[in-house]
Amino acid sequence: MPILSYELGHRSTPNPRSTTGARDGHVAAIIKHDTDLRPAQVYSELAANRLAQFLGLPVAIGVAVRAKRDPDSLRFASLKAAEVGLDFYDFTDHDAAFDDDDGADAAPGMHTESGHVSALRRVCQRYPLETAQIAVFDLWIGNDDRPGNLKAALGDGGFGAIFGIDQGASLLCCASRRHEALAQLRRSDFPRFHAFQKLVSPIYCGEMIERICAIPEWAMQAAMIFDDNVGTVTIAEQAEVYDILHERRRFLRDLVSRVLL
């Protein structure tokens, strides 16, 4: 898998305590917080990111952060990839979604409502393993918001790179209200679509299902249940999401077959 590097700030200073030449610096990040529309966004981003990291998925690393001036406010920082020198296609650019797409390049049954039709076909051809992994993971965590949250180098030269960003519409944020999100996650037919549907390899999807089903319970618990509230998400609610995601593994294969293949 290609190494995804992150954007470093221009200034750095010597670390006075380092004996190995380390320097103090800043890494660029997108900072997210809970909102009225997504009241559990920080928890959902954090838990989904920790699960993705455990599974080795190509998603941008994110961490929990606090500000010195507001230490009681927990936020989520998604590190910004270093894009200089790489020809990334930006699926987050909604204005370009339909620039060269008239639907003629669409495969039977593929997702076309979000545009980027030819780019979606190219990214699945260029990265068959990674797109299958991302798609299966999205179905597991209830993320139906992948179309605008992906960047990838689509040229044929070099190793290239692909990474998913923004899992903020998954888990407890797959609906605008928390009880609705829990109800959605309990459904065996949710999500109903995916950006990569009908474009991914059944073999790679099957391998990803096996990987998810093999996650030890301690690893899922470590990724999803914390020793304190995360924003307004209580420990009991974190445990409830864990239980639901544990149950979703039971019907994941059928869901993948129905939506993706």
What does the DSSP 8-state code read for residue 88? E
Residue 3 lies in a domain: no
Q: Which pLDDT does position 117 carry in this prediction?
A: 87
Instruction: Tell me whether residue 18 is in a domain.
Output: no
Question: Domain of 254?
Answer: 8-13+26-259
Residue 97, CA distances (Å) to 100, 115, 127, 238, 260 in order: 8, 5, 20, 36, 21
Q: Give the pLDDT of residue 131.
A: 95
Does 123 reside within a domain? yes
Which residue, 248, 250, 261, is CA-closest to 206?
A: 261
Rounded distance between C-alpha atoms, residue 131 and residue 112, angstroms: 17
Q: What is the pLDDT of residue 107?
A: 82
DSSP assignment of 170-218, as one string? SGGGSSSSHHHHHHHHH-TT-S---TTTTSS-HHHHHHHHHHHHT--HH
If you count them, how many residues does the chain have?
261
Residue 147 inside a domain? The answer is yes
Residue 190 in any domain: the answer is: yes
Q: Tell me what pLDDT residue 88 has.
A: 80
Which residues partner with 162 through β-bridges? 152
Number of structural domains the chain divides into: 1
Q: Are 259 and 200 in contact (CB under 8 A)?
A: no
Q: How many CB atoms lie within 10 A of CB 227?
A: 5
Q: Confirm whether 182 is domain-assigned.
A: yes
19 within domain boundaries: no
Q: Give CA torsion, residues 167, 168, 174, 178, to 10 deg.
A: 140
CA atoms of 198 and 106, how far apart (whole Å): 10
- Please list the pLDDT of the chain residue by residue as tens digits (261 residues): 567 888 998 889 999 999 999 999 999 999 999 988 889 999 999 999 999 999 999 999 999 999 888 877 899 999 998 877 677 887 877 666 555 555 666 888 888 888 888 889 999 999 999 999 999 999 999 998 887 788 888 877 666 788 888 898 999 999 989 999 999 999 999 999 999 999 999 999 999 999 999 999 999 999 999 999 999 999 999 999 999 999 999 999 999 999 999
User: What's the pLDDT score for residue 93?
Assistant: 73
Three-class DSSP category at 232: coil
Q: E strands of 40-124, at which residues?
A: 62-67, 70-79, 88-90
CA atoms within 13 Å, Cβ hemisphere of 9 = 10
Report if residue 156 sits inside a domain.
yes
- Is there a contact between 110 and 198 (Cβ–Cβ < 8 Å)? yes
DSSP, collapsed to helix, strand or coil, labels residue 229 as coil
* The Cα angle at residue 142 between residues 140 and 143, in degrees rounded to 5: 110
Name the residue among 87, 91, 81, 89 with its Cα closest to residue 158. Answer: 87
